[in-house]
A and B are shown apart, each in its own frame.
Chain A
Amino acid sequence: MSLTQTENSLGLTESGVETPGEAAAEIKGKRKKAGLLWWFACAWLGIIVLMVVFADLLPNPYDQPVPDASAHESPFSSWPEFLGTDYLGRSTLSRIAAGARTSVTVATIPVASGILIGGLLGLVSAYFRGTTEAVIDIFADALLAFPPLLLLLMMSSVLYPPSVWTITLGLAILTVPGFYRLTKANAIAQSKREYVVVAKAMGARPGRIMFKELMPNTVATILSYAVIVMAVMIVAEGSLSFLGVGVPDPEPSWGGMVYKEKDNLEDYPGQVFVPCAVLFLTVFSLNVIGDRLRSKFDVRDSNL
């Protein structure tokens, strides 16, 4: 129950509503086999990684109009710009690829710092309990008291001018309380196990217990949630850019591309739907992979 509550209170893991009943049903029924979806998700994320690495090698730069092309060329009408051009005649393909860099930045850095800071605080809190836990809890609760998008908007109104880095900072702050609660819940569950009691009885210091005993046994769970939080981060950045307060033009962002073209929806739907589709496929792939990792590494499974 405590874990379910933690998940819900994360407020971030959209797909995180799973109850013990379902977890039990999953064990009894099928150990999910790596199906078509899993491979599809891996393949798509592979493409994203390729785009991130080779974005500079594309025939046209993302911030300049394509030389002999007009604005708003529809997707799948020419080669090599098979994704068309935007309202300034810039290559959609190059902008998607460069936007992938933005998405990967906002997905990885906040999650990594969330795991580091939140995880550390979670371990400290789980080990010491008492006042330490209560104080950290209050800060975490205060951060969680803001609806996530609202907190981001608030931060983007003071972190000015907006850029990939201010958004990354905002998202990093946002992820900390979620990972804190998750680590704490897992570490508390672990700290009741015999091996921790034995370690304590043998005179191990707090640092050793936290990092050598508790941490290795919580890390798998945390990492499998991290994949899903990455998807949430990408959506959050997309939403901010869609509201026009995220990554500013000409820096590319999938959400920003939608923002710039949304008023041309009826005339040039392709320009809107290409970034939408890319965003959807990326989030979907991360969710598929995250769900699978979670059912594999979840403590509830291994405990039973």
Chain B
Amino acid sequence: MWRLLGRKVLHLIPVLFLVTLATTAMPDMLKLGDSSATPVAPKITMDMKPEDIKKLEHEYGYDKPLLERYGTWVKDAVTGDFGTSMATDQPVIDGIKERYPVTLELALAALIIALGVAVPLGVWAAAKAGRIPDKVLGGVSSGLLAVPPFVSAILLVYLFSVPGVISPVFPNLSTDLGTANFIDGLEYLWLPAIVLALAEIPQFQRLLRSDMLGTLQEDYILTARSKGLSAPYVLFRHALRPSSFSLITISGLTLGRLIGGTVIVEFYFGIPGLGQSIVNAINAKDIPTVQGTVVVIAVGYVVLNALVDIGYMLIDPRVRAR
């Protein structure tokens, strides 16, 4: 088992290397597509000559070869220095620190809502398998699966026509929400969190339903029922726990995915999180910010996935044995 664990960690190293190298190579890819493009675009003014641009590129070190730049980048990154934003001249890490809590809270709230709705529905569907409630839920969830988050965002805003739910709500939240506590933030984040949760509910519901169907075939469920225990009691007390194993695993993976997937709702609802800063940075051609933010999210995602894998291994002896 330790060998397996070691292999997992060893595997992480080249993956992290490639992920960080790919983001360092962004300026080179830029040149690849259009040789007149430059990574220092936000700094360029109308009266600049090509030589000035070259000088600027030299100043920022973009004229050095990729591997050398990568070395410098890694050295800086381990000390928490992700470079300086081209657009705002602020250290990239400051922006990330400010915005990270917002995105994390949004993702967590979405996950909690999704589980809160999907677990009872999944249990219900399994209990009524093949009958009308199950069929209705199945239909609704395959319908929901086809609704992209930006469509559900627009639809919900329109249906509830919540006054002022878009942009005006976030005046100077970037300094506000990060330090404000979780509950205060929820006042702003409940609708975006529901939008994110809507995309996850059908998957959670389906997963729990199918795992539950397996559990309900077990003899001990029959025993519990024949002891005269009520159906809801058996479902929630006896069947739910052994069936929720893969759901818990998926929840861990989903959290990682949600942190990277909040871009759309952050953009639409004007939430000052990491996703919004990426979109803004792309529009401002601010490569260091895109780089730093992408790396933080991607590395977090990789590490979280590995932790989930390892946790899975620790809990489930069958995985350990393989």
Contacts and interface: CB of A to CB of B under 8 A. Distances in A.
24 contacts: A14-B145, A15-B142, A17-B207, A18-B210, A22-B213, A142-B22, A145-B15, A145-B19, A148-B260, A149-B264, A153-B282, A154-B26, A157-B26, A157-B285, A158-B26, A160-B30, A239-B264, A243-B279, A258-B150, A262-B154, A265-B154, A276-B154, A283-B146, A283-B147
Chain A contact residues, majority secondary structure: helix
B290 interface: yes
A106 to B, nearest CB: 14
B136 to A, nearest CB: 14
A85 interface: no
A220 B146 CA distance: 23
B214 interface: yes
A141 B11 contact: yes
A43 B217 CA distance: 39
Contacts of B34: 160
A242 B253 contact: no
A21 B15 contact: no
Interface stretch (B53-61, B109-117, B294-302): B294-302
Interface stretch (B88-96, B155-163, B179-187): B155-163
A21 B210 contact: yes
Interface of B: 11, 14-16, 18-19, 22-23, 26-27, 29-30, 32-34, 37, 129-130, 142-143, 145-151, 154-155, 157-158, 161, 199, 202-203, 206-207, 209-211, 213-214, 246, 250, 253, 256-257, 259-261, 263-264, 267-268, 278-279, 281-283, 285, 287, 290, 294, 297-298, 301-302, 305
Nearest to A287: B146
B151 A19 contact: no
Nearest to B206: A17
Contact of A235 (B37, B148, B202, B257): B148
Interface in A216-253: 231, 235, 238-239, 242-245
A125 interface: no
Chain B contact residues, majority secondary structure: helix
Given A145-B301, A154-B290, A243 B267 contact: yes
B146 A231 contact: yes
A138 B11 contact: yes
Contacts of A211: none
Contacts of B148: 235, 238-239, 279-280, 283
